Amino acid sequence: MFEFLESGQYDLLGAFWVTVQLTLYSAIGSLVWGTLLAGMRVSPVPLMRVFGTAYVNVVRNIPLTVLIIGCSLGLNQTLGFSMGAERFEDIGFRLAVLGFSAYTGTFVCEALRSGINTVPVGQAEAARALGLSFTQVLRLIVLPQAFRAVIAPLANVLIALTKNTTVAAAIGVAEAALLMKEMIENEAQALFAVFGVIALGFVLLTLPTGLLLGWVAKRVAVKR
């Protein structure tokens, strides 16, 4: 039943390694971008708040697939952006990371913003009474507490991102979902085995993430 794995024709580990890499790079990208967006949305400058709100509301409502296809057809093929990559595989990979970061950043922003709202007003008031500036209050007092409060929601965002990386198959990035499509086409007789193997891979990727970060969230939560 699992002969197709032994034939050496399919690089299962390699495909999942691409999935993991996609997830990691996009996670870093969306964490940075999401934090910036959250900073804008809570800042005292009205224009930044407007931009942050507009970006989050618009991008969140566009299907991820549209963004990824847009990166490939629009940015790359029409405008000629290649994100500094030469090889076809690299271009697709980097475009996908860009699309995932732009999309997932909005969810990170919303999670962080709700975390900022869990910080008691007294904390910031005390910090301001000490003479700290807005950026200092945000950086030293509010964000550290906010981050500790939102680890569990961020874990959910990360899990969703892991699953969303499969959409990169639509622009030909050689990750797990694309390999599954290829295996199903060639190994029709082993359909359930193929699905089982890929499904197992995703369970192994998402389950430990949830458990580990859930444990971390409990440990670092600020007891109030």
Residue placing its CB nearer to another protein in the complex, 83 or 152: 152
Residue 101 DSSP SS3: helix
Residue placing its CB nearer to another protein in the complex, 90 or 136: 136
Residues with Cβ < 8 Å from 196, sequence gap 6 or more?
none
Residue placing its CB nearer to another protein in the complex, 18 or 176: 176
Rounded to the nearest whole angstrom, what is the least distance from the CB of residue 9 to another protein in the complex? 18
Rounded to the nearest whole angstrom, what is the least distance from the CB of residue 165 to another protein in the complex? 8
Report how far residue 112's alpha carbon sits from residue 22's, in angstroms, rounded to the nearest whole number: 22
Rounded to the nearest whole angstrom, what is the least distance from the CB of residue 163 to another protein in the complex? 4
Which residue in 120, 124, 143 sits closest to 133, CA to CA? 124
Residue placing its CB nearer to another protein in the complex, 85 or 170: 170
- Our CA angle for 161, 192, 1, nearest 5°, is 125
- Sign for the pseudo-dihedral over CA of 209, 212, 215, 217: negative
Residue placing its CB nearer to another protein in the complex, 97 or 105: 105
Report how far residue 161's alpha carbon sits from residue 172's, in angstroms, rounded to the nearest whole number: 18
Rounded to the nearest whole angstrom, what is the least distance from the CB of residue 94 to another protein in the complex? 18
Report how far residue 86's alpha carbon sits from residue 224's, in angstroms, rounded to the nearest whole number: 52
Q: What is the rounded end-to-end Cα distance, in angstroms, of the chain?
A: 55
Rounded to the nearest whole angstrom, what is the least distance from the CB of residue 43 to another protein in the complex? 8
